Structure 1
Amino acid sequence: MTDREPFRIRIKVRHYELDTLGHLNHAVYHSYGEVSRLELLEASGALKGLPGVAAVLLETHVVFRRELRAGDVVDVTCEAKFGSGKTFKMDSNIIKLDGTLAAEITCTLGLMDLERRKLVDDPRGRFQAAGADMELLSAPE
């Protein structure tokens, strides 16, 4: 196991993202997770060599730990976890700057052949063949 830090981005909670209770709307947590996933895929080069193939979200789950309010600044981590089969995981944590865990997001994704509309085999192998930075993209195995 290495001490590698997961990929992270910084986001400021905006007033228009709040619900009637004055804290971050539940759906926005999903949006923050999506932003971190897309930024990681872009930064790693994971999608560059995959014409006709796209990452698709199959399942997402959020565990809310602490509320977020307007003006809070958070780091949103993300890392992929590959196993066997056609799907893979991308997990994120939303962390306040003081280190407080605000939410945990777990997602199941696949790579879809856009012409056939079917998931492709071995997403890890596909990313590697496309020249993705697998050290940046995925958690140590």
Structure 2
Amino acid sequence: MTEREPFRTRIKVRHYELDTLGHLNHAVYHSYGEVSRLELLEAAGGLENFVKAKLASVLLETHVVFRRELRAGDEVDVTCDVKFGSGKTFSMDSNIFKADGTLAAEITCTLGLMDLERRKLVADPRGKFEAAGADLKLLSTSEG
């Protein structure tokens, strides 16, 4: 069995994203993770049904481990992979790779699906994604 690759988004590091040391500002790594998460959710489909159901994903926690510096002009691939558990939360983890394949950063995130009327997290986010018509195999390499 071949292991599937997670979803990837290509991003170019811009000059205005640099800090005083000339490398990518720490906060921008979080933005790159957000870009990849949103691109994945859009590509997987089902978001229109979330809007109709008054559901939205909410970021509860995020953590970055910096491995290598990124500089202006670098092109990076940002992966995103969902892991569903048994509770109300799920993870959407990303890795940022330089063009030569070097791991530049690891981002781990915990999210939930919020009922926008009740302002509470809903149970079984995987089931909600499935019911919304999302492509679970695109969202998660863990899906068969």
Could you tell me the TM-score, scaled by structure 1's length? 0.97
| Structure 1 residues 1-141: aligned runs within 5 Å | 2-50=2-50, 51=52, 52-140=54-142
How far the C-alpha of 1:99 sits from its partner, in A, is 0.6
* Secondary structure, counterpart of 1:106 in structure 2: strand
- Partners of 2:2 and 2:9 lie apart in 1 by 21
Give the residue type in structure 2 aligned to 1:140.
S
Distance 1:95 1:87, change over 3 A: same
- Is the 8 Å Cα contact of residues 5 and 141 (structure 2) preserved in structure 1? no
Number of aligned pairs? 141
Structure 1: stretches of 5+ with no match in the other structure: none
- Partners of 2:85 and 2:46 lie apart in 1 by 17
Note the aligned Cα RMSD (angstroms): 1.0
- Partners of 2:135 and 2:101 lie apart in 1 by 27
- Partners of 2:134 and 2:91 lie apart in 1 by 16
Structure 2: stretches of 5+ with no match in the other structure: none
How far the C-alpha of 1:2 sits from its partner, in A, is 4.0
Give the residue type in structure 1 aligned to 2:129.
F
- Partners of 1:108 and 1:78 lie apart in 2 by 13
* Secondary structure, counterpart of 2:24 in structure 1: coil
Identical positions, percent: 83
- Is the 8 Å Cα contact of residues 76 and 94 (structure 1) preserved in structure 2? yes
* Secondary structure, counterpart of 2:58 in structure 1: strand
- Partners of 1:7 and 1:70 lie apart in 2 by 24
Superposed structure 1 runs of 4+ greater than 3 Å apart: none
- Partners of 1:136 and 1:64 lie apart in 2 by 26
- Partners of 1:53 and 1:16 lie apart in 2 by 34
Could you tell me the TM-score, scaled by structure 2's length? 0.95
